[in-house]
A and B are shown apart, each in its own frame.
Chain A
Amino acid sequence: MLITRVLVLTIALIAATATAHAQISDGIVKIGVMNDQSGTYADITGPGSTTAARLAVEDFGAAKKGLKVEIVVADHLNKPDVGSSIARQWYDAEKVDVIVDVPTSSVALAINQITRDKGKAFLVSGAATSDLTGKACSPNTIHWTYDTWALANGTGSAIVKTGGDTWFFLTADYAFGHALERDTEAVVVKNGGKVLGKVRHPFPTADFSSFLLQAQASKAKIIGLANAGADTTNAIKQGAEFGIVKGGQQFAGLLVFISDVHALSLEKANGLVLTEAFYWDLNDKTRAWSKRFAEKQHGAMPTMVQAGVYSAVLHYLKAVEALKSDDGTKVIAKMKEMPTDDPLFGKGVVRADGRKIHPMYLFEVKKPAEAKGPWDYYKVRATIPAEQAFRPLDQGECPLVKK
């Protein structure tokens, strides 16, 4: 009798612990940071994003709350096939619960689909294409920091409104460049501007001279750079050589990160108008966090992508804690339900289409004489409120949004 009772108790106990554990798969929340660790986007995302994710785990206080969190890192080399196979490996064999960052829109779109098929979670900070919350939106994905629509809306409309009404695009020839060009063209045309021509250059391209000549010949007032990273800095640098600005044309860097401005130096970059979601020198909280970040990153200040990784991972862990589960689909639903709040982006929400919204800022790059110290690069020209910064919910053609 006694033996039977002990047995029954033991089995009940095992069952109880088993279900308690089943909430968090294998007892560990495993976060996979995937981005460009070594190529043209490595300074924008790369090891800095890993540092940001670590800081988020630290600030969440995972260890104190008894939550085991592990971070793994991979380099997708900006190639969709490489990214896809890492994602499958992570989800299938290595029990990764969530993938974060993933710059390069073509890679992000591929992982968006895989994550949906596997019922996991995907927090995009690095990629730009607004399709992630449009046609390709998914109940398993949140697009965190910025997107091509927000960039076009910020930089594009500001430039058209100040007289830049004829455009020529230099576009990186892949999903990201196409999306950025499309969204900007829409803004230009809507504000009464005209697109005189465009050229699609291979990604990445080192020498822009030929494309710059074509842009020069177009006589457009604005040369819109629908590219990023080294492509953008090379185009601007070589543009100065070919006398683009002296000839009366202006560059519109549609996606410029603080690391690009740093690489160009203020002498070359001053006067550029750009849209970002984050700048280290916005307020006391952003300054304090950025200082911690820089200490771990050779003194480099965080880009908005890296700040976004921090914010996304922090909110993800809060949702896991509230839900006591790391089931991908459920956590994403919970993240949409809970309002967001963190020191870098302040209060915000995640919309039904997976778009995280917060204010965006229109910055102007300072003149060398205006900078008071290293990394003192931007002055705020305008703050775009969260509700106006991103594409209205009903215009994205996202099937998740009930009409």
Chain B
Amino acid sequence: MPAGEEISTVFGVPVQALFGQVLIGLINGAFYAMLSLGLSVIFGLLNIINFAHGALYMTGAFAAYFLLQWAGLGYWWSLLLAGYWWSLLLAPIAVGLLGVVLEKTMLKRLYHLDHLYGLLLTFGIALIIQGGFRNEFGSSGLPYAIPSQLTGGYNLGFMFLPTYRAWVVVFSIVVCVGTWVVIERTRLGAYLRAATENPTLVRAFGINVPRMITLTYGFGVALAGLAGVLAAPIYQVNPLMGADLIIVVFAVVVIGGMGSIMGSIVTGFTLGIVEGFTKVFYPEASNTVIFVIMALVLLVRPAGLFGRTA
């Protein structure tokens, strides 16, 4: 055996295989990032711990499924092929509108109360949405095919990269960076940040703060809906798909620092990679590693890696 080959292993795992795992980690991280980003926006600007986020992510996937079904059943056959692209556009809007309704009718009444009330309300909403879908569609999930334009994949030498996964990473990076730019670098973002610091003063400048808050919540959950559409072709469209994910995503938000936009993006991708490595070296722990990291981070930096201490 040539010497070079002996060196290219890490703890018995070939380096080439690890490249693959980094990439896979990035893909999963993309979902963490998009979901935790929405949570961060909502918490940062509204002070609501949105436990309904997982259920809304699931609703996004179902919205994609319905759109495809309806389009497929309809006479406009061209929509059948384009079903996924329509879903990508319409499903987040639908979920966002659902969010606006939730905010207008319920969440709005809780802003002056303790965080715990918002948490309980959104948790209850999540259970209702999930229970309703489960009752109607069962727990095995519904099939959703990868859109024909994105099937297939590339052989990268060290791994086979499905085209669809590449698309997910690229698309979510664009969405994450776009959101960060809007909030941190534009006038609209400045209004938003100002409104959370001092709503009364911002209102005095003639800005409709309640409407802005409603739209922010709508945008935050639309991100969850968007992640749901992206997830639909990868996983089964399943009423329970958000329930397990939401806990991990909350851990990501806590590690990144509650309310920190950049924190949740960077932490989302990083933890995806860490999890990917765990799946190679000690797969049994791959569902707990994120919580171990959370505990360690909380011990050292209680406000999270990117959080500001109040």
A residues apposed to B, CB below 8 Å: 38-44, 46, 173, 199-202, 204-207, 209-211, 213-214, 216-217, 229-230, 233-234, 237-238, 241-243, 247, 259-260, 262-265, 267-268, 298, 300
Contacts and interface: CB of A to CB of B under 8 A. Distances in A.
Given A39-B139, A241-B146, A230 B159 contact: no
A42 B159 contact: no
Interface string B142-164: 11011000000100000110101
Given A200-B283, A201-B283, A206-B244, A46 B139 contact: yes
Contacts of B28: 207, 209
- Of residues A39, A201, A207, which shows the largest number of chain B Cβ atoms within 10 Å of its Cβ? A207
Nearest to B28: A207
Contacts of B235: 206-207, 234, 237
B20 A233 contact: no
10 contacts: A38-B131, A38-B139, A202-B284, A202-B286, A206-B235, A209-B27, A210-B25, A229-B140, A263-B236, A267-B145
A199 B159 CA distance: 18
Contact of A201 (B146, B241, B286, B288): B286
Given A211-B279, A241-B164, A247-B160, A233 B140 contact: yes
Contact of B283 (A206, A211, A230, A259): A211
Contacts of A263: 140-143, 236
Interface of B: 14, 17, 20-21, 24-25, 27-28, 131, 134, 138-143, 145-146, 153, 159-160, 162, 164-165, 234-236, 238, 240-241, 244-245, 276, 279-280, 283-284, 286-288
Given A42-B134, A201-B283, A211-B279, A265 B143 contact: yes
A213 B27 CA distance: 14
Contacts, number: 112
A35 to B, nearest CB: 12
Nearest to A209: B24
Nearest to B151: A241
B126 to A, nearest CB: 13
Contacts of A43: 138-140
A200 B282 CA distance: 9
Sort A-B residue pairs by CB-CB distance and give the 6 closest, nearest first: A263-B140, A202-B287, A42-B139, A210-B279, A265-B143, A43-B140
Contacts of A173: 283-284
A262 B140 contact: yes
A265 B146 CA distance: 13
A388 B211 CA distance: 70
A36 to B, nearest CB: 8
Nearest to A204: B244
A39 B244 CA distance: 11
A216 B141 CA distance: 26
B285 to A, nearest CB: 8
Nearest to B272: A207
A56 to B, nearest CB: 22
Contacts of A268: 143
Given A230-B236, A243-B153, A210 B24 contact: yes
Nearest to A241: B162
- Of residues B17, B24, B165, which shows the largest number of chain A Cβ atoms within 10 Å of its Cβ? B24
B236 A242 contact: no
A199 B165 CA distance: 23
A43 B239 CA distance: 12
A206 B165 contact: no
Given A42-B139, A209-B165, A214-B17, 20 more contacts: A38-B139, A40-B240, A43-B139, A43-B140, A206-B245, A210-B276, A210-B283, A213-B17, A217-B14, A230-B236, A230-B240, A233-B236, A234-B235, A237-B234, A237-B235, A241-B153, A242-B160, A263-B143, A263-B236, A264-B236
A214 B160 contact: no
Contacts of A260: 140
A211 B286 CA distance: 11
Nearest to A210: B279
Contacts of B14: 217
Contacts of A46: 139
Contact of B280 (A204, A206, A214, A234): A214
B283 A213 contact: no
B236 A234 contact: yes
B134 A38 contact: yes
Contacts of B24: 209-210, 213
A262 B279 CA distance: 29
Contacts of A234: 235-236
Given A39-B139, A43-B139, A238 B17 contact: no
Contacts of B238: 230
